Chain A
Amino acid sequence: MRRSSFAIFHVMAVIVILVGLLTGPRLGIINHDFLTFLSPLLPQGALLSVHVLFGCLLTLIAIVFTVATIRTPFHGAPSKFDKAVNYFGYLVIVLSIVTGWLLWLNPESLSLVIHGLSATAIFLYLVLHGIKHTVFKGKQVLSVLLPRNALILLSCSIALVYFCGLGIKLIVAEQHLRLEVAPLSRQSHLEIDGKGDEPEWLRAKPIKLTTFGGANFLDGSSEVEIKALSNHDETFFLIRWQDPSESLEHLPLEKTSDGWQVQENGFYRFDERTYYEDKFAIMLSTTCELGGDGTVQYGDAPLAGKPHNWHGKGYHASTDGRTRDLWHWKALRTNDMYLADDNFFGPPQSVALGQRRYTAGYQPDGKESGAYVMNWRWYSPNEVTPKRMPIPSPDITERKVLDWFASETYNPQQDMAKIGEQLPSVLYRSNRFEGDRADVRARGEWHDGYWTLELVRKHQTHSPLDVELRSGVCMWVSAFDHAQIAHTRHHRAIQLRYML
């Protein structure tokens, strides 16, 4: 291989690796808090697509370089130190490429760990390799980084590799998981009870996938199995996922010597990971792009002109003006309503200055009435005043939700609660939502390390905030193990295919 050819490979590899090293940690911050210190240096926005594209480019460059080297090796004159450093570099780059593809095909915690470690090793390699050559060669390094005698060839090579990599990425991004929606006769009746024990479910072909990167799950991951059935009006989903514990608490209030206090571990920055209920979310879209169809915006301020978020992870928002449907089942707040909270991801909403939390494109559908409120008059991390207390009754069972008619207005003079006593923070003002927000019926049950959730919705709700259920629609799922936002995820979309 000629020196100019080697230099071209070198320049392209440097660019691609640097972009990978800048975008990768930004994705990693989602489930690795210790990476947050890097945040000021990292880019923000819908970066998964960029990271995958540059992964494809690096793969392409590595393959072509390997073939070219086998055919006509490049004979430089490296020292023993350089040779050792270079072999180390080649090894960790290959490791990073392999684990990147494994993460794409079937995300596992081990692949994620090795991918992160290999990226760290690549960074070390760049430091060793780069500093050594910069210190000892000075300006001569520029001739390697920018081969002046081959600028046209370099430009053409970059363009060629970029478009080839883009093509590979587009092909890769189209490799969706397929969920067959089996037909269901009008006579068949499915009870939405979280059991999924009707014989009709045996005819539905399941898909299984690993979701990863969530808080509290074993290794942060949860296996999810999904089945779907459909009649002419509605689609039913039966979803089962691993969760080692049934969590039904939602920021409970506890009496302390200083008064009532919200039990929390992260709620102040809207990232509660202890005192929260289990949840499950399904996103639906008519398009199937990477990064949750482009709705995942990474970073503490990924949207220009919009506020910083408090946890530094990111926002959900669409940047193409379209709406994605979101069903958000909550084990405590909506399960007893037999509903999932019908929400959506839309364009970033305008900023309400009086609200400390900004949720960008994540919003609930409108409702006419109903549902729950928090059982405190005003939140403070130090002390709160409850709105209502349970009416003392020998029949009352220990409930994590406070019903309006089983409670009375809080009166500090009549507060006989002992220190350590707890009070629900979720207050039901009515039994369920009414209106657009109540389109998805759902019920879940936890048993022996698994949640089983049944959901049903009409194919067409005629709401501009909902997505019509039909063949070609893509879905993504996320599980939450007593966490407010730290959910699991997967990259490959699940595409619905109706058999009816």
Chain B
Amino acid sequence: MTVASRLILSLAIATVAISYLLFSAPEREIPTHARFIKVTNDMQFLSVWQGPWHCVYDKKLNLLWEVKRDDESIHDGYWSYSWYDGQFGHADQGDCYFEASHCDSQDLIRKTNQASLCGSAEWRLPTPDELRSLIQTPNSPGKPHIASDFFPHIKNGDYWSSEAGVSLPKSFKREKLGATAVNFQSAETLSLPYENAAFVMLVATPSTPLSLAQSRVEPVTLN
């Protein structure tokens, strides 16, 4: 190889290296979750980093989950409810702002169905199995046992299930029957008196096939 050809080769290598440095912008692929999809109130799917979202579509169970918020609406995560289905249970023993009296689970179900949250008017309390299916190890100390990135305002507390008429532990002397709840701090299932104030996360079976829903095309925003 001659001096000239070696010089050209050196320059070529340098040019390739500089071009690689200048034009190799890092690629950022937006990941997808194997089970959950964020859904807006008008039934549009969002990517994992988009928001705000109001429901989560659970591909595994074909369910829509209500997403709690921090906005003092009826879906605020701080509100608590006694267990009541309109006939059984104990009405108006929870704590919320949106009712003149106190709140029970039927109040939230009624209001959510009236508003057709995420296109559904069939919101209900989840079964114990449905609730327990959400339990997962938190990735930070002190966080609830749930995917907090999809369910951000879930508290370290009890969440009512639909299962009622269950026997209560002997420590509850006044009441004999209550409803099943799942505690997302301890990841345990427990029975509580109907009048207890616990949290609620509603669930619905989608009324339209969600696979037909369109993804929203908008700039990605942070959470």
Are B7 and A436 in contact (CB-based, < 8 A)?
A: no
Name which of A10-18, A71-79, A93-101, A350-358 contacts chain B: A350-358
**Does any Cβ of A come within 8 Å of B21's Cβ?**
yes
Q: Chain A: interface secondary structure? A: loop
Known: A41-B21, A363-B141. A387 touches B6 (CB 8 A): no
By the criterion of a CB under 8 Å from any partner CB, how many residues of chain B are at the interface? 39
**Does any Cβ of A come within 8 Å of B31's Cβ?**
yes
Are A135 and B52 in contact (CB-based, < 8 A)?
A: no
Known: A135-B10, A377-B52, A381-B221. A387 touches B33 (CB 8 A): no
Determine the distance from Cα of A243 to Cα of B51 in the docked complex, in whole angstroms.
38
Known: A138-B6, A355-B223. A366 touches B142 (CB 8 A): yes
Within 8 A of B (CB), among A320-376: 349-357, 363-368, 373
Q: Which residue of B lies closest to A310 (CB)?
A: B28
Are A356 and B222 in contact (CB-based, < 8 A)?
A: yes
Are B33 and A353 in contact (CB-based, < 8 A)?
A: yes
Q: B residues within 8 A CB of A365?
A: 141-142
**Does any Cβ of A come within 8 Å of B90's Cβ?**
no
Q: A residues within 8 A CB of B217?
A: none
Are B21 and A409 in contact (CB-based, < 8 A)?
A: no
Are A136 and B3 in contact (CB-based, < 8 A)?
A: yes
**Does any Cβ of A come within 8 Å of B219's Cβ?**
yes
Determine the distance from Cα of A308 to Cα of B219 in the docked complex, in whole angstroms.
20
Q: How far is the CB of B42 from chain A (nearest CB, A)?
A: 15
Are B21 and A465 in contact (CB-based, < 8 A)?
A: no
Are A40 and B221 in contact (CB-based, < 8 A)?
A: no
A-B contact count (CB 8 A): 94
Within 8 A of A (CB), among B142-192: 142-143, 147-150
Q: How far is the CB of A344 from chain B (nearest CB, A)?
A: 8
Determine the distance from Cα of A378 to Cα of B48 in the docked complex, in whole angstroms.
14
Q: A residues within 8 A CB of B139?
A: 349-352
Determine the distance from Cα of A373 to Cα of B70 in the docked complex, in whole angstroms.
9
Determine the distance from Cα of A132 to Cα of B41 in the docked complex, in whole angstroms.
67
Q: B residues within 8 A CB of A353?
A: 31-33, 48, 149
Q: B residues within 8 A CB of A378?
A: 51-52, 221, 223
Q: Chain B: interface secondary structure? A: loop
Q: A residues within 8 A CB of B33?
A: 353-354
Q: A residues within 8 A CB of B7?
A: 135
Are B149 and A379 in contact (CB-based, < 8 A)?
A: no
Are B24 and A40 in contact (CB-based, < 8 A)?
A: yes
- Residues 50-79 of A, flagged 1 when their CB comes within 8 A of B and 0 if not, give 000000000000000000000000000000
**Does any Cβ of B come within 8 Å of A277's Cβ?**
no
- Residues 2-19 of B, flagged 1 when their CB comes within 8 A of A and 0 if not, give 010011001000000100
Q: A residues within 8 A CB of B140?
A: 349, 363-364, 366
Q: A residues within 8 A CB of B149?
A: 352-355
Determine the distance from Cα of A351 to Cα of B196 in the docked complex, in whole angstroms.
35
Q: Which residue of B lies closest to A37 (CB)?
A: B21
Known: A135-B7, A352-B147. A268 touches B142 (CB 8 A): no
Q: B residues within 8 A CB of A350?
A: 139
Within 8 A of A (CB), among B44-88: 48-49, 51-52, 69-72
Determine the distance from Cα of A136 to Cα of B7 in the docked complex, in whole angstroms.
9
Partner of A354, one of B26, B38, B219: B38
Known: A41-B21, A378-B51, A436-B142. A354 touches B222 (CB 8 A): no
Known: A41-B21, A373-B70, A378-B223. A135 touches B141 (CB 8 A): no
Q: What are the 8 closest A-B residue pairs judged by CB atoms, nearest first?
A: A366-B142, A354-B149, A352-B149, A378-B52, A366-B141, A380-B221, A350-B139, A356-B49
Known pairs A349-B139, A364-B140 / 13 extra A-B pairs, C-beta < 8 Å: A37-B21, A40-B20, A40-B26, A352-B139, A354-B149, A355-B149, A364-B142, A377-B70, A377-B71, A378-B221, A379-B222, A379-B223, A380-B222
